[in-house]
Structure 1
Amino acid sequence: MSTDNKPTFRVIVIDDDKEMRESLVHLLETTSWQVDTFTRADSFLERIDSLEPDVILSDYRMPGMDGMEMLRQLKLKNVRVPVVLISAHGDIPMAVEAMQIGAYTFLEKPFDPRRLLSVLKHAAEQHRLNEDAERLKARLAQLSGLDRILIGQTEEISRLREDILNFSDVDAPIMLLGETGTGKEVVARALHDLSNHANGPFVVLNCATIPAERFEISMFGEAATSPGVLASADGGTLFLDEIGACPAPVQAKLLRAIETREYIPVGGEKAIPTNMRILSATNENLEAGVANGDFRADLLYRLNTLVLNLPTLRERRSDVVLLFSHFLAEYGAVYEVGPPELKHEDVSALMSHDWPGNVRELRHVAERLLLAARRGRGSVAEAIKPDHDHGDVPDTLREAVAAFERELIAKAIKTHQGKMDAVAESLGIGRRTLNEKIVKLGLDKNALI
């Protein structure tokens, strides 16, 4: 029997009947289990600290200590290994008592070997998951500083943390590149908090959400009327998210403000000095924007003096369970409910999903799972609810409208091969509105072309 790619589990068999013990060993070893045997429960308990079983299979009636007393002793020692009890003399009260004390399950002799193997496998898998969850909790409890902000153990996220530390005291503009949901604002805030401007304000301007006719006033303010974001960010950090949506007429003034460290409000005459750090972010190909005339080359080269590339969740797949456990604990505290234990199929769903929405999508899935678990139901697979699964009907009108818009815009982007002016025209909306919806709906334009 092939055992490729199958985990090897370790089981402790405790039975005073030699024939039964040898029969169980043969059954288990032929199905790739590692087996240790004991004839008495008290002998096993003397060595429990040196053993690391995934599951314990024990007879109920044995000389000396019986299975029920063994369960009590394991509980006193805080041993959480699942115990499967077997007995030829089982009855319902006995089984109920065993389960109350902590047995995983109770089987009567004679038992079906396939049933036994299935029960042991599920118990061992659950134990491994619980052990992994405990290790994750311990790891999360030890995190501090950047480790707590940018959680993960992969090389990609470790390198990003190092780059943030290296760039933290540099005043040169930094551009953050990454897909939607990779955490660009989180990284920007970390750069601010570690910089010389940390005592100043951290101001975010999402360029895709500002109407073109209001963009200049929003950025530079209006003389004697209202300050703009440049004034608000003075002494701190200005984070220009979705910088590719900055209107062409404003780009020249922004470049001048960055280079001269001063700006003139709309309708004003006197230049106002400013001292701030400029961070920007995009999930678009700005080189293509330069080529087609939508973005100034000199502004791009000023903004991307330093560049940080944020990895996708697909590139750091081994961090998925760690991050998901963190988000479950986070939302558990918010909703005042204990986070559900992840089952084997939950972990499989987490690891097999492509996560097009990256960390943002993972966080939303964790919240949905926690809210479903609070009502006594739900799984990770159900919480993911892929957009392409048309069998899932949105729960609210808002969600239904968002799903329809997402599908319609995605189809238009594919049809017009990413030419956004043509996409906006075909949909009957302005370019600014289109950019805003793409950001809001979490669409990755490059992935659709």
Structure 2
Amino acid sequence: MTQAMKIAIVDDEKDMRQSIGQWLALSGFDTETFASAEEALSQLNGDYPGIVVSDIKMPGMDGMQFLRKLKGVDSALPVIMITGHGDVPMAVEAMRIGAFDFLEKPFSPDRMTELAKKATQARRLTLDARVLRKELSDGSALMNKLIGSSPVMERLKEDILDLGQADGHVLIEGETGTGKTLIAHALHAVGARASKKFVLISCAAYDEDALARRLFGPSEQDEPIPAMEEARGGTLVLEDIEALSTTLQARLLTAINEQGNPSETRIIAICNLQDEGKTCESELRADLFYRLAALRITVPPLRQRGEDILTLFTRLSEQFSDEYGCDAPQISAQEAAQLLQAPWPGNVRQLINIAERAVLQNRRGTGTITSLLMADTEETEPAMTTEGKPLKEFVEAFERMLIDNTMRRHKGSIVSVMDELCLPRRTLNEKMAKYGLSRSDYLS
């Protein structure tokens, strides 16, 4: 669940800080008050999940000194300054130092609420970006995002770990929505270049001249440095590699040949070709293709991942139910079979959309998984893949999902799970062992 934003209110006048705190609390904020800047500094750090509202004139450390200290702790922490009528020039100076905004006494409570909302939204974006950057530099965190234990996913994880340690260029192929960019991040994060630059460029997002400048330079004013230079020593990811013109293919090949070997900059090329009869090999000049495809990963489509589909649906439903503050939908055996049989042309991206819509439907008490699958294809019945699966696979996948969901709901209570599923303990233990489920994974 998303962490609630806090507001630290710092003012030496008790009545003022209490009135601000009460008003913001009534507006739905989580507030805490401090009688001095020194007291607040002892509690605030660079990961503070919120913002600061501070008076400027205070005994001891005043608001300006406090602001400078806070900017030293976290330059991106939003600080709203409160000033008296004669202190407006000082408030302007505070803005120059890095204050988020200032309020002149007497101020409107509604204006305070409006500023607090803007500041907390900015803070949330900052903290979310930090979490994302940390995840994208943490190989184990990224590997954990590759959910699933099907044979094709286990093979994919092994390939990532093996090729991540290698030094050759890599070509990633696969259908749209399979997570190719996530895999590029994982290849970088589990290898020796994890601490180096990771630069991602979509070749389809630029016209030819702009892409040439972005890749090779010279950069125009206010443009970033060329990607080949920016990624030096690290990893350069080229999404939609098939969109490169023949001219830029030649320039890229020259740049690769000039660096001699991948030890300078590793290139991960991502191919998103969907047109029947076309491949990355057919669209790229042969010498460039074979340089980029020194190592190769083909990402499996979702329809080939068996019970991973139900595991993913469960995890995604739990995430969205936390986000929207409601229960995750409980799916029937028929719906589980339909999820397993769906062709999933949009792959994991499509499954994410289905899971979110299923949670929203469940919150309203309307709709079914079946209706969502039909809406995606505009058919009167859910579409089914032509890749046949034995009945045993459907039964086992649903059984595993049912036990997994029930264990999660009861937080690992074996007795509660036995009662709900009407299973003797020995049978439950045998099935959990069969499906690789461990009670310790569900304990709060």
Give the TM-score, by structure 1 length: 0.48
Give the TM-score, by structure 2 length: 0.49
